[in-house]
């Protein structure tokens, strides 16, 4: 596995639309912040048609990061060579 593989997989995972169940498990204090992140992401799309298409897709996992969108890196969690942690700010 290469760094490129990891980053592509991360991008794909964060681009997935959340399920009702995932959204329902959000802590109450995060719902408004996730919704604001979604609105900000959608409003940032310049093309009106593309923006409406994206709006129809709903909240994505990237929105769960809220305002923590600065990538700081990926590191191993403990001694397990297959478990990593995404660090964002």
Quote the CA–CA distance of 41 and 2 in Å, as a whole number.
Answer: 29
**Closest to 62 in 3D by CA, of 11, 20, 24, 26:** 11
Per residue of the chain (89 residues), give pLDDT as tens: 888 998 899 999 999 999 999 999 999 999 999 999 999 999 999 999 999 999 999 999 999 999 898 999 999 899 988 898 999 99
The per-residue pLDDT for 36 is: 97
**Closest to 72 in 3D by CA, of 10, 1, 9:** 10
The per-residue pLDDT for 1 is: 80
The per-residue pLDDT for 61 is: 97
The per-residue pLDDT for 6 is: 87
Per-residue burial over 6-42, b if 16 or more Cβ lie within 10 Å, else e, is: eeeeeeeeeeeebeeeebeebeeeeeeebeebbeebb
């Amino acid at each position: 596995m290469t760094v490129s593989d990891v980053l592509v997989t991360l991008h794909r995972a964060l681009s997935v639309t959340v399920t009702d169940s995932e959204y329902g498990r959000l802590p109450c204090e995060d719902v408004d912040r996730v919704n604001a992140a979604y609105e900000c992401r959608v409003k940032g799309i310049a093309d009106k048609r593309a923006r409406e298409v994206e709006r129809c897709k709903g909240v994505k996992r990237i929105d769960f990061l809220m305002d923590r969108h600065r990538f700081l890196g990926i590191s191993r969690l403990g001694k397990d060579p297959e478990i990593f942690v995404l660090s964002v700010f």
